[in-house]
Amino acid sequence: MTNDDEVEGVEIGSYADFNFFRDTVVTTVENGERGSICPLLINHADSDGHWTPDEAAALQGELEIIETVLSERPPVAFNSLWKAEVAKSFGITPGNLLDCFFDVDGEPLTQRLKHLAAVSMERKMSILFQ
């Protein structure tokens, strides 16, 4: 978020983890056409910049589409060791592809990002990438 105060945050893991999520979206949701359906998520640099409160509203829409498509696909193997450890700690057994993406606290990634977008719009503060 903007200013010096962090209001809310989502710890996704490494840049590689975020890129794995985005690559999965490109492959499954966008049928290989990068940024065609989810341009805010896909075309944004993964390590710098921000989403404005107005963009946060559109991001929520993209995340809804992602949830629908990924929930209809079979799960895949975890792409990093920390995910396997978090899944074991919280009893996460993915039943579909959407379930394979969660934050470091075991919370569903798309739900956490939608919440972050809601806070951004409510407080009229940008979402910062750090």
Q: Per residue in 29-88, pLDDT tens?
A: 999 999 999 999 998 766 667 788 899 999 999 999 999 999 999 999 998 999 999 999
Spell out the domain ranges in the chain: 15-128
- Enumerate helices (H) and strands (E) in the chain, giving the number of each: 5, 2
Q: What is the pLDDT of residues 9-28, one digit of tens each?
A: 666 767 788 889 999 999 99
Going through 1-130 in order, the beta strands assigned E by DSSP cover 50-51, 127-128
pTM: 0.87
Widest CA span in the chain: 41
